[in-house]
A and B are shown apart, each in its own frame.
Chain A
Amino acid sequence: DTAVSQTPKYLVTQMGNDKSIKCEQNLGHDTMYWYKQDSKKFLKIMFSYNNKELIINETVPNRFSPKSPDKAHLNLHINSLELGDSAVYFCASSQVAGKGKLFFGSGTQLSVL
């Protein structure tokens, strides 16, 4: 059973389109995250939700909107995609916010053409 699963694994789209990435965790964790990994492998947090409540919102363009329908799901919707949005997006979860033991999904490779 996959602990943190995200779909799709690959996403190729045109500039200006709107796309969504879905994430689900079956670990019973309270906190979920979205991270962006750029071409140089640098990992940067974008958002964090604890029990469906937004607790971290880094300086991310408001074209990015996370949605957490329940504590097992955290989806990422991106409007008006730009070339610079191309990256690998990772969903992660942790049992308790701030305890650091993150469990990552396998990533979504987003390519904006």
Chain B
Amino acid sequence: GENVEQHPSTLSVQEGDSAVIKCTYSDSASNYFPWYKQELGKGPQLIIDIRSNVGEKKDQRIAVTLNKTAKHFSLHITETQPEDSAVYFCAASAPYNDYKLSFGAGTTVTVRA
């Protein structure tokens, strides 16, 4: 099955700086890569996703890049703000296993004011 590794496990950044979280996946058939943000006491919420036919996608201060050859994808948050502090999860799914997302272990991001 799919195995998703996520790094770093914790990330502390100064407000206004950028944050980058990296994930690798094992199954070359995976074609869908969402990112979820989980705030304290809440459920994860989808913030951006990318499919394998696209190399990069951007939504305001958030961007995701995908390198299919290397089987890794990354989340970039620019101009970080205190409300960006949360746990971020990457995930991957493959067409033959479309019912199941495999999640990374999560990255706890702290934005220092």
Contact = CB atoms under 8 A, between A and B. Distances in A.
A101 to B, nearest CB: 6
A44 B104 CA distance: 10
B47 to A, nearest CB: 11
B101 A97 contact: no
Nearest to B87: A41
A62 B18 CA distance: 45
Interface string A37-81: 000111111001010000110000000000000000000000000
A106 B38 CA distance: 10
Contacts of A106: 41-43
Interface residues of B, number: 25
B112 to A, nearest CB: 21
B73 interface: no
Contacts of B36: 102, 104
Interface in B1-56: 32, 34, 36, 38, 41-46, 49
Interface stretch (B63-71, B74-82, B92-100): B92-100
A101 B46 contact: yes
B49 A101 contact: yes
Contact of A50 (B32, B97, B99, B101): B99
Interface string A97-113: 11111111111000000
A34 interface: no
Nearest to B96: A98
B101 A100 contact: yes
Given A41-B106, A106-B42, A106-B43, A97 B89 contact: no
25 contacts: A41-B87, A41-B105, A41-B106, A43-B44, A43-B89, A43-B106, A44-B103, A45-B101, A48-B100, A50-B99, A55-B99, A56-B100, A90-B44, A98-B98, A100-B34, A100-B91, A101-B34, A102-B36, A102-B44, A102-B101, A103-B46, A104-B36, A106-B42, A107-B41, A107-B43
Given A42-B105, A45-B101, 7 more contacts: A43-B89, A92-B43, A98-B95, A101-B46, A102-B101, A106-B43, A107-B42
